[in-house]
Structure 1
Amino acid sequence: MASPSSPVYCPRIFTTMVNVTLNPINSTQKITPLSAFVISLHGLFSSVGIVENLLILGIVGFHVRRSVISIWILNLAASDLLATASLPFFTLYMAKGRTWTLGTPFCRLHSSIFFLNMFVSGFLLAAISMDRCLVVLKPVWAQNYRNTAIVAKVCGVIWALAVLCTVPFYLFRDTITDRNGRIKCYYNYAQLLPAQPFDLESLCKRREEAFGLTKFFLAFLIPLLIIIFSYIAVNAKLARRGCRRPYRFVRLVVAVVVSFIICWAPYHILSVMEVLTPLDHPSQQSIARGLPTAATIGFLNSILNPVLYVFSCPDLCSKIRHSLGAVMESVLAEDLAELARRRSSGRISNSTSEATLKPRNAITALCLKGEMEVSEGLSTHEN
């Protein structure tokens, strides 16, 4: 056992961090055009993401009446703002020749923000998909019980679960110096060691597998399956009701699923490969070099989310000339007057007079402009 003053590293992680970088780009040489392009791209992503999410938080938070949809969007934008605000420090890491110069405490904090956003985004996108699914499958229930108080509590639970999932990643993050003098902000599973005798290599392997699989299942696979099956259920319900599914509807659904896969699949796949691939396998070097790029692609999801979930109103192009606040109000605000009128008359009536109401366009099932309109149209059909 090493002395208290000597850092303790897992054999696998230490060997990977040291040996994979035997032939890297020397940190003292000039930045290549490709590196400069990548660093500039990081800066662009960060600037666009910060401005984009700040605008959404400011407009939705102060100029849009509280609704179920605005609460979803506020929480999603808050998570994405945290991620994009931390991206400049990742850009600095790239500009410094992929060496971390901001110390161990900030290494842990910066990494925790990335993982927190990863979990919150996955959980929120899954919850939003389930919410839309309930609006279509259970319109009467959604009309009567789906309200801002319940959604706010759900968002609170999502943040709490995401924080709990992030705590281990904070505790086991550390700075490791390789043979070239580069400092890596990476995992160090040889921390918080048990008091009883143990095999360090076996303990590290179990922890590494637990971390990799936890990220893959909780932040990617399970949310992705929920998103896909929710939209399949919505589509099947609309098909049974004979509702038309315009191209815009299909395009939005495909964009949501594809963007989530494209942004997060590379990172999670490489993370799982890193855990399951033998240490002496040649692909370990490619994995180690590819993970930072995959993390950058994951950050891109924080820029795409506002576009997909806020600016997906069908009438956006014709309304873009109005003020941004008016556009957001049109996209996010629910028809509170109509909702109040319906609730003032008691629970949704099952009288046959409702059968004369015209069903709404099926595109509103997934458009953030007014999801409650779908429930009105579907409940009319049921009666």
Structure 2
Amino acid sequence: MSDKLLMNESSSSNYTAAYPSEGMRILQMIVTVMIFIVGVSLNGLVIWALGVRVWCRNRGSTRDTQSTDSFRIYVVNLAIADLVLLLRTPLMLPYLMNHSSWTLGEPVCKLAIYLRCLGLYVNAFFFCTIAVERSLCLLRPVWARMKRPRWTVPLACAAIWVLAAFFALPYIGTAKIILWQNRTACIESNMGVEQALIVVEILAGFLLLLVIFLSCNIAVIVCTKKAESTISSPTSSSGPGNTSQRLTRLYRVLFLTVILFLTCWVPYFTCRFLRALSHEQPKLKEKVIAGAYVALFLVYIKSALTPILYVIATPVKCACFNFCHDTGV
């Protein structure tokens, strides 16, 4: 949507837009509708099954039972973040139907850009938080299961939402409507402000989280390799078959989460970074904006299909606890 039309008024006179062909425009509309239907359905199912249904079932349960729900709470919040991001996709349909021209007015333009930024920040934050939670389950299982205060996980979730809303807030003030090549465009901001916002996005919403995400996954791999060598020793009393299945499930989850992160976030933020550097190079900017547009679709697809990973990831926390208890990690 606005990502394809991020060009200020001063450069529009010497810039030739590359609008999608009629066939590509129809394909984008079909993909957008499919992403919205599948994403809302699957994420809504996750929120109901792991959130509402489990909360109703566990009311009045003991502290020990509730303290094992941190992973589930983070997953539910990630599903809500995916929904926030997917709520923006219906706003792309009028834009595509009107041949890449924004017709919904400036307030909706501000809302669309804000939802995109809020959804991206929250999504990245919770994706990283789940990696941290997974490493805590393996590295500090007793504290994570028994000694952690009950209020820490809800407080962490609230802090993540507030922080993401704070980072996305500037876009409400900077987003606006301009007339560009006889079409109405919804843009994030003017050139100088746009560069500053992109730098903040890359630092706070990608690079820092990438370091934490990779560090946590490396720590989990090192921990499980150490435990695996303990299990294979002759003095180990753990069942090798059952533990091998837990390790396989854990490695599968790690592999899928890393692939999701690399295939969705890295291309998008790479294009955002290149766009901040390409204001004086219209030809390069045309390619970068087109790349960012495709990368944003990958993020939408990720948000729609992430619940499939929950089928594998939901039992992982309990498996981690049992794995650490059996191996003595």
Q: TM-score if structure 2 supplies the norm length? A: 0.82
Partner of 1:224: 210
Partner of 1:90: 92
> Which range is displaced more, 142-151 or 37-46?
142-151
Which of the residues 91, 95, 110 maps onto 1:108?
110
- Please tell me the residue identity of whatever aligns with 2:324: L
- Please tell me the residue identity of whatever aligns with 1:375: F
Partner deviation per Cα, 1:134-156 (whole Å, 9 max, x = no partner):
11011121122336532111000
Contact 1:16/1:279, CA 8 A, preserved across alignment = no
Partner of 2:287: 286
Partner of 2:147: 145
Q: 1:24 to 1:241 in 2, by over 3 A?
A: closer
Q: Percent identity?
A: 23
Q: Does 1:14 align with 2:34?
A: no
Which of the residues 35, 38, 59 maps onto 1:45?
35
> Which has more radius of gyration?
1
> Which range is displaced more, 138-147 or 170-179?
138-147
Partner of 2:196: 210
Contact 1:143/1:372, CA 8 A, preserved across alignment = no
Q: Does 1:265 align with 2:260?
A: no
Structure 1, unaligned runs of 5 or more: 1-11, 190-203, 313-366
Distance between the aligned counterparts of 1:208 and 1:225, measured in 2?
25
Give the aligned length. Answer: 296
Partner of 2:250: 249
Give the deviation of 1:55 after TM superposition. 1.6
Structure 2, unaligned runs of 5 or more: 1-6, 59-68, 232-243
Distance between the aligned counterparts of 2:255 and 2:11, measured in 1?
38
Partner of 1:353: none
- Please tell me the residue identity of whatever aligns with 2:87: A
Partner of 1:297: 298
Distance between the aligned counterparts of 2:328 and 2:281, measured in 1?
62
Q: 1:63 to 1:18 in 2, by over 3 A?
A: farther
Q: Does 1:175 align with 2:165?
A: no
Give the deviation of 1:246 after TM superposition. 4.2
Task: Give the secondary structure class of the aligned counterpart of 1:311.
Answer: helix
Distance between the aligned counterparts of 1:23 and 1:167, measured in 2?
29
Partner of 1:371: 317
Task: Give the secondary structure class of the aligned counterpart of 2:315.
Answer: coil
Q: Does 1:36 align with 2:26?
A: yes
Distance between the aligned counterparts of 2:41 and 2:287, measured in 1?
34
Q: Does 1:56 align with 2:46?
A: yes
Task: Give the secondary structure class of the aligned counterpart of 1:64.
Answer: helix
Partner deviation per Cα, 1:303-326 (whole Å, 9 max, x = no partner):
122122x111xxxxxxxxxxxxxx
Q: Does 1:124 align with 2:119?
A: no
Task: Give the secondary structure class of the aligned counterpart of 1:282.
Answer: helix
Give the deviation of 1:114 after TM superposition. 0.8
Contact 1:259/1:304, CA 8 A, preserved across alignment = no
Contact 1:61/1:74, CA 8 A, preserved across alignment = yes
Partner deviation per Cα, 1:257-305 (whole Å, 9 max, x = no partner):
1112212222211111111125135212222333333222222221122
Which of the residues 205, 222, 236 maps onto 2:222?
236
Distance between the aligned counterparts of 1:113 and 1:370, measured in 2?
31
Contact 1:220/1:268, CA 8 A, preserved across alignment = yes
Contact 1:80/1:303, CA 8 A, preserved across alignment = yes
Give the deviation of 1:61 after TM superposition. 2.8
Give the deviation of 1:168 after TM superposition. 0.9
CA RMSD of aligned residues (A): 2.3
Q: 1:101 to 1:160 in 2, by over 3 A?
A: same
Task: Give the secondary structure class of the aligned counterpart of 2:178.
Answer: strand
Give the deviation of 1:64 after TM superposition. 1.4
Task: Give the secondary structure class of the aligned counterpart of 2:8.
Answer: helix
Distance between the aligned counterparts of 2:249 and 2:319, measured in 1?
17
Distance between the aligned counterparts of 1:281 and 1:186, measured in 2?
17
Contact 1:49/1:84, CA 8 A, preserved across alignment = yes
Give the deviation of 1:380 after TM superposition. 5.0
Partner of 2:240: none
Q: 1:208 to 1:85 in 2, by over 3 A?
A: closer
Partner of 1:344: none
Distance between the aligned counterparts of 1:223 and 1:16, measured in 2?
34
Give the deviation of 1:102 after TM superposition. 0.5
> Which range is displaced more, 241-250 or 34-43?
241-250
Contact 1:68/1:147, CA 8 A, preserved across alignment = no
Distance between the aligned counterparts of 1:121 and 1:110, measured in 2?
16
Which of the residues 156, 159, 166 maps onto 1:157?
159
Contact 1:224/1:257, CA 8 A, preserved across alignment = no
